[in-house]
Structure 1
Amino acid sequence: MLGWKTTVILAFQSIGIVYGDIGTSPLYVLSSIFTDGIHNIDDIIGVLSLIIYTIITIPMLKYVFVVLHANDNGNGGAFALYSLICRHAKVSLIPNQQPEDMELSNYTLETPFKPKGTKNLKQKLENSYFAKVMLVLITMLGTSMVIGDGIFTPSMSVLSAVSGISTSLGEDAVVGITIAILILLFGMQRFGTDKVGLSFAPILIVWFALISGIGIYNLVKHDIGVLRAFNPKCIYDYFERNGFKQAWLSLGGIFLCITGSEAMFADLGHFNVRAIQISFSFVTFPAIVTAYVGQAAFLRKFPEQVSNTFYACIPGHLYWPTFVIAIFASIIASQAMISGAFSIISQAQNLGCFPKVKVVHTSTKHRGQVYIPEINYMFMIACIVVSAAFKTSTRMSHAYGIAVVCDMTITTLLVSFIMLVVWKKNIWVVVLFLPFGCIELLYLSSQMTKFTNGGFVPLVLAFFLTTLMGIWHYVQKERYMFELNNKISTESLGKLVNKGNINRMPGIGLLYSELVQGIPLIFPHFIANISSIHSVVVFVSIKAIPIATVALEERFLFRHVEPRDHKIFHCVVRHGYRDELGDHVEFESQLVHHLKEFITQELEAEAKTTTTVEQVPSIHVNENKMAYISQCYTTSDTLIEEGNHRTSSSSSYSITFSSSHMECAEKEMKFIRKAMEKGVVYMLGEAEVVANPKSSIFNKIIVNYAYSFMRKNFRQMDKVMAIPRNRLLKVGMTYEI
């Protein structure tokens, strides 16, 4: 639990990261609603009422008071929700769950189910392969919408701000200035959310003070009567006056007043729930509502100014200061969804649903603040293309809202699952939450009327990204199943290592495999090509756990691969979707340190074991076990060998561990240290995944072309961990799936 001082600091930072998008919506909302002008002066009151209650319903009630609590140990976003569901129901498509994972300190499971209906739902989810596939596809689609939002938000916000000088410079100049600002914005991302947030927060606070001050000024000067918009009856009057169809069509523009609300949840990993609640309730909400009230009061007197409402209602002496602050605020608005997109892509990659990219953790104080260079520059290019193609914020608004409302609807669906599967709420409690989804579907239906006017762009983008993630996850799953079905037995490994032509050279060999249990198929392939292995071999399985973080002391899970004298270990490196594996130097150090700890703890555990054997004519003892004990320990009584049996010379005997136990432990440590001095070599299987010749044409296209293209053009494991080439050994192998 963070202290109030830290929470207040995070709340201050969150203003500079989270609320730029929703905070700059007054720049373009009213002009997007009244695209054909204002035909009835009373419609201003109706639209203002819809704006006020939309902000109260979605950002305040849904996100601040419900969705923020559906976090995964302080993390938000679609994949955080999916991870939470995976921990409480066996819905993961990759069968790598182990009982040991549930013992992790952050792997908290709730008490058994009580409501019968929710228990049945959990069982249906676990037993239905189709439901599992649909759940992960919905999660990917929600992620794709956030990424699409991260592309449209910068273009929309900056274009809207720069449009204040469109009358003097022209449309082409506005687009050029917008592109220049976008290049500057994406160039700043490498400094990290922490530094960007601290620098942006004061600017956005000034922005909120300006728009709320201007709003109060217009309210008092022009028409204080617009305050009656707080009466929800004005919404009914608006629909009755314009007819349902016309009023329904205007909902597409009204929805733009809450774009950026999803950033509160997507960026949650950068801050915490309390910080977001404080900053929205006491700063953002009153500021933007006051701004809309003031604009409505101004339009009641000057309805002809609706196409440029925001800048037209600014008092003359504040025009240029507001214009400059608006430019900075639009840059901040862009930052909100860029940060959220970085976080959610990092989560998707760690859970095996996105190709490998370089993730840079930019803050040592606040875990989860990341920067992804490749994605950053892809975003920059996409934003430039979008800005040049749409040219104005009004045309872009046709596409902008669809990505946002789709993401919100998916969040509502996933949170409903959380309520049933994780919170174990009664089905009727969930029914009370579903009206939020109904409202969002109503807004979505209105937005879809703009499909041919650019609304198709975010949907095509989301379909492309979902397909990319789906293909990657599918092939990773099939690759894992291939390794699992073709793993090498311990007996086969023993025969392989004991071959006379196999040399044991000094050093530590780390063989990477995705297989959590068993010997990977690639190992005998290495031996067949090299005919030698290192004196210490560790099969390393890097396993994603559906939790945010795994404590460092719990991350490495070792076990011996029998027989022990072969010095072969299996290590499962468990990490959460917010964890950083580190470079090869740090990783080596941690792995060897935990290997030594494992050996010490294992010997100590055996040293504490006291074996008492009652007197019998003969005692059968496992020869291998006794041979191992005799190497490391001495006994208090003399053991007399009689044929194939061993008996004690007294009625019972206790194995007492003295200095020889310490000598054995020291011998093991010395062996590991000596191997470490000779160096660590990384062995990676360059597995080429191809479709089985007997598989369908569709499967061949996915595996042989789509997946192969992604694998060749994204980072490999050695690039992600920055493994030096002179310590990397690759052997090729082909998997048919």
Structure 2
Amino acid sequence: MDPETDRQEHGHAKRAGAKLQRHDSLYGDAEKVSGAQHHGHEDSWVRTLRLAFQCIGVIYGDIGTSPLYVYAGTFTSGIGNIDDLYGTLSLILYSIILLPMIKYVFIVLYANDNGDGGTFALYSLISRYAKVSLIPNQQAEDAMVSGYGLDTVSAPMKRAQWVKKILESNTMAKVAIFLLTILGTSMVISDGVLTPAISVLSAVSGLQEKAPQLKQGQIVWISVAILVVLFSVQRFGTDKVGYSFAPIILLWFMFIGGIGLYNLIKYDVGVLRAFYPKYIIDYFRRNGKDAWISLGGILLCFTGTEAMFADLGHFNIRSVQLSFSFVLFPAVSLAYIGQTAFLRKHPEHVSDTFYKSIPAPLFWPTLIIAVSAAIIASQAMISGTFAIISQSQTLGCFPRVKVLHTSKIYEGQVYVPEINFALGLLCVIVTLGFQTTTNIGNAYGICVTSVMVITTILLVIVMLLIWRVSVWLIIPFCLVFGSIELVFLSSVLYKFKDGGYLPIVTAAVLVSMMATWHYVHAKKYQYELEHIVTNGDMIELIEKHDVKRTSGVGFLYTELVQGISPIFPHLIEKIPFVHSVLVFVSIKHLPVPHVENSERFLFRKVRSKNSKMFRCVVRYGYSDTLQGSEEFAALLSEHLQLYVEEEQQMITSMMPNQETEVLQTSSMVLENDNARPSHRAAVGSTVYVEETLRPGEPTEFTQPCISNLSGRISEEQYHIIGEEKQFIQREMQKGVVYILGEIEIKARHNSSFIKKIVVNYVYSFLRKNFRQGEKAFAIPRQKVLKVGMAYEI
């Protein structure tokens, strides 16, 4: 015997006497598992450069079209002092450098969630390191998913643990983080309404340069026509034309950069002195309150910044950094510098600076490209809104809507018909109601700055809890970026009555809807958790009602990942029949963007070996695509048969020595309080957990391997496995019935008046007017069995 084998067997022998206690993680809370690797890999420079080119057309359409309307929104009453142009240009340049470039491109992008960005990505990242979710459905196995990526303990762990303890023990902190997340999401959705309106209206207004007889009302109706067409073609998806955006936006940047350089040389090279920040101080000293109010127009220069973070999933950090630093920043900076030089000579043209400053031979090409760029900017925000709604729905924060995936290659490209109609209608109303870009800009600014402030707050939590950076670095981050964003926010809030009310009202409606839905969703889960059916209860329940088996397979959908839902006893009390194979299916969305197919299914037998009842937790990331009913049934059947085979093989392989107990989807803990975390080994679609060691014992483990186990399985055991697999296949062929709970939720009679309004009326209205469960899971109606039940929460 070789020394390595002897040492392993010696270690197993020492552990054989350990007294083990079984703890089923399907009933328990999640554990922290250390040692997982960070997401991410090194990309080749060729791929990075290709991604840098592609992201130009996807994430820079909004911020790249800002030169169309910034000066018009800043000097709404004209230029009072010609030297004010130095101050405004300096503000524009340093705003772009500090917020989009330094804060987002070189700091915030690193707070991605396995490559995905946005407000929900920050929330999911925090949720993995601290139990801030209001729905207690965490499991130990969640941390074993490859994308979970928890860090090992490091030096400043005490502070991180202190922050973690505060977040987990304080309900108000959990609610505050959740409300910040859905507020930021609501503001981005509002941005999806305003971006198409202001971008298209600004671009089309250039027609008045060559056709002065066109009135503003006619410009508005032309813009509305373009918007109607834009929203009408959304159902076709952007997969086929998505990467044709990059050449158009790149051409746009070449045009605005070249025109800016031309104007700089022709009119006033001296405007370059605006890089001296003293002109900002002079501007505020000279204008006082008016300078502060003008910040509402200046901040339009960095609208669309959040898109760089939210759309990160299709690119990588380096590609965004390269494209921003070497394409976007030089182009837009030259555009603003050239417009400033032009206005030094022609201050009377401040309301339509962009088109007035274009050399005559380039006017029509620039106009065509400007309209195209405006449409692309609008398309990016519309697609982003669809993706955010889809993510909100998967995390239980939004009523069910129909989500169509328009691309077989890119999962993030989705289309939501109901939301598309609502966005298009609101966008047309905003365009007709506001008429000009000035008032739309007032509303636009509130969306932009609000999301930035929320991102700063969530990022500080990430710094404390996950990055664990020095407090002496966090403080200047908050002072610099937080103070700048709050000053900008205060300026746009001052214009509340001049259009600023629109995003606030829209966000209030969305936050109320999302908070109501999630509140009742969490209360419903807690109710089921309180009325859970354990394995012991199942035996008594089935014997009491003399339950018979009928042919076929039943999938009973439940949100519970711990135990059996109270829907089941309610079902057999009315109809004492269950299918030959019954699977309690829990669709669970983890706080990660994606879950690999090999890690998607967790199984456990219910009641006894011959019951043919299983619990199955099906795990998805918040950006994953739910399969259709037939594909889902086939996958579940395949993994169920694999589970049956692997379970029997693992148990048989361990039985001769009785040294370890192998459990499916469970964790073992020693009764010793100082026990170390158990060692886990994944085999196929099944997760096995080996015994826990005493402190100080060897850490060598023998990973289970199916090929090594096959020799230990007798012919009789192979026959048993084969029969059970064939039985499942036969029952699948007889048909699958999907059993869904039709739950009516009411507030308890002793609940407060507000709770009764929220639960009995607001939630009931949302539930009745949005999609039902079978539509959300794409289940044919003829295969659905609904079980009606009432919950009082």
Distance verdict in 2 for CA 1:408–1:196, change over 3 Å = farther
- Give deviations 1:426-474, integer Å, cap 9, x for gaps: 2222112112111000001111110111111101111111111100110
The answer to whether 1:119 aligns with 2:161 is: yes
Task: Return the letter of the residue paired with 2:446.
Answer: I
State the Cα distance separating 1:612 from its structure 2 match.
5.3
Give the structure 1 partner of residue 280 of structure 2: 235
1:498 to 543, 546, 549: 543
Verify the 8 A CA contact 2:545 2:573 in the aligned structure 1. Answer: no
The answer to whether 1:71 aligns with 2:118 is: no
Verify the 8 A CA contact 1:267 1:343 in the aligned structure 2. Answer: no
Give the structure 1 partner of residue 379 of structure 2: 335
The answer to whether 1:465 aligns with 2:510 is: yes
1:314 to 358, 365, 388: 358
State the Cα distance separating 1:274 from its structure 2 match.
2.3
1: CA distance, partners of 2:407 / 2:473 = 39
Give the structure 2 partner of residue 709 of structure 1: 765
How do 1:161-176 and structure 2 match up within 5 A?
A: 161-166=203-208, 167-176=212-221
* 403-412 vs 333-342, which moves further: 333-342
- Partner of 1:506, secondary structure, is strand
- Partner of 1:195, secondary structure, is coil
Give the structure 1 partner of residue 86 of structure 2: 45
The answer to whether 1:275 aligns with 2:319 is: yes
- Partner of 2:429, secondary structure, is helix
How do 1:590-609 and structure 2 match up within 5 A?
A: 590-609=635-654
Give the structure 2 partner of residue 670 of structure 1: 726
The answer to whether 1:486 aligns with 2:527 is: no
2: CA distance, partners of 1:489 / 1:197 = 51
Task: Return the letter of the residue paired with 2:168.
Answer: E
- Give deviations 1:550-569, integer Å, cap 9, x for gaps: 11111100000121211100
- Partner of 1:356, secondary structure, is coil
- Partner of 2:213, secondary structure, is helix
For this pair of structures, how many residues does the alignment match?
Answer: 696
Task: Return the letter of the residue paired with 2:62.
Answer: D
Give the structure 2 partner of residue 690 of structure 1: 746
Task: Return the letter of the residue paired with 2:526.
Answer: M
How do 1:361-400 and structure 2 match up within 5 A?
A: 361-400=405-444
The answer to whether 1:154 aligns with 2:209 is: no
- Give deviations 1:236-261, integer Å, cap 9, x for gaps: 22222223x22211111111111111
2: CA distance, partners of 1:80 / 1:671 = 43
State the Cα distance separating 1:187 from its structure 2 match.
2.4
Distance verdict in 2 for CA 1:580–1:500, change over 3 Å = same
State the Cα distance separating 1:527 from its structure 2 match.
1.6
Identity of aligned residues (%): 55
State the Cα distance separating 1:199 from its structure 2 match.
2.3
2:568 to 508, 523, 534: 523
Verify the 8 A CA contact 1:266 1:344 in the aligned structure 2. Answer: no
- Give deviations 1:341-400, integer Å, cap 9, x for gaps: 222222211111111122233333334232222212211111011111101111211211
Verify the 8 A CA contact 2:538 2:607 in the aligned structure 1. Answer: no
Verify the 8 A CA contact 1:155 1:386 in the aligned structure 2. Answer: yes
2:488 to 424, 436, 443: 443
Distance verdict in 2 for CA 1:13–1:370, change over 3 Å = farther
2: CA distance, partners of 1:191 / 1:277 = 31
Task: Return the letter of the residue paired with 1:317.
Answer: P
2: CA distance, partners of 1:585 / 1:219 = 63
Verify the 8 A CA contact 1:218 1:295 in the aligned structure 2. Answer: yes
Give the structure 2 partner of residue 635 of structure 1: none
State the Cα distance separating 1:308 from its structure 2 match.
1.1
State the Cα distance separating 1:189 from its structure 2 match.
2.4
* 315-324 vs 354-363, which moves further: 354-363
Give the structure 2 partner of residue 305 of structure 1: 349
1: CA distance, partners of 2:635 / 2:115 = 26
- Partner of 1:558, secondary structure, is strand
Task: Return the letter of the residue paired with 2:183.
Answer: L
- Partner of 1:97, secondary structure, is coil
Verify the 8 A CA contact 1:15 1:204 in the aligned structure 2. Answer: yes
Give the structure 2 partner of residue 646 of structure 1: none
- Partner of 2:305, secondary structure, is coil
How do 1:528-547 and structure 2 match up within 5 A?
A: 528-547=573-592
The answer to whether 1:219 aligns with 2:264 is: yes
State the Cα distance separating 1:3 from its structure 2 match.
3.8
2: CA distance, partners of 1:712 / 1:494 = 36
State the Cα distance separating 1:59 from its structure 2 match.
0.6
2: CA distance, partners of 1:337 / 1:163 = 21
Distance verdict in 2 for CA 1:297–1:84, change over 3 Å = same
The answer to whether 1:105 aligns with 2:149 is: no
Task: Return the letter of the residue paired with 1:344.
Answer: I
- Give deviations 1:13-55, integer Å, cap 9, x for gaps: 3222211111111111111111111121111111111100111
The answer to whether 1:586 aligns with 2:627 is: no
1: CA distance, partners of 2:97 / 2:523 = 46
Verify the 8 A CA contact 1:113 1:119 in the aligned structure 2. Answer: no
Verify the 8 A CA contact 2:545 2:576 in the aligned structure 1. Answer: no
- Give deviations 1:256-285, integer Å, cap 9, x for gaps: 111111110111123332222222122111
- Partner of 1:194, secondary structure, is coil
- Partner of 2:467, secondary structure, is coil
1:264 to 292, 299, 308: 308
Verify the 8 A CA contact 1:267 1:336 in the aligned structure 2. Answer: no
Give the structure 1 partner of residue 522 of structure 2: 477
* 464-473 vs 493-502, which moves further: 493-502
The answer to whether 1:95 aligns with 2:140 is: no
Distance verdict in 2 for CA 1:601–1:36, change over 3 Å = same
- Give deviations 1:65-102, integer Å, cap 9, x for gaps: 01111110011111110000010011111111111111
- Partner of 1:169, secondary structure, is coil
State the Cα distance separating 1:113 from its structure 2 match.
5.0
- Partner of 1:12, secondary structure, is helix
The unaligned stretches of length 5 or more in structure 2 are 1-40, 660-710
Give the structure 2 partner of residue 454 of structure 1: 499
1:722 to 763, 774, 778: 778
- Partner of 2:614, secondary structure, is strand
Verify the 8 A CA contact 1:402 1:448 in the aligned structure 2. Answer: yes
Give the structure 2 partner of residue 638 of structure 1: none
* 416-425 vs 336-345, which moves further: 336-345
The answer to whether 1:189 aligns with 2:219 is: no
Give the structure 1 partner of residue 57 of structure 2: 16
State the Cα distance separating 1:500 from its structure 2 match.
6.6
Verify the 8 A CA contact 2:545 2:572 in the aligned structure 1. Answer: no
State the Cα distance separating 1:498 from its structure 2 match.
3.3
1: CA distance, partners of 2:57 / 2:545 = 66
State the Cα distance separating 1:609 from its structure 2 match.
2.2
Give the structure 2 partner of residue 58 of structure 1: 99
Give the structure 2 partner of residue 642 of structure 1: none
Verify the 8 A CA contact 1:270 1:367 in the aligned structure 2. Answer: no
Task: Return the letter of the residue paired with 1:150.
Answer: G
State the Cα distance separating 1:657 from its structure 2 match.
4.5
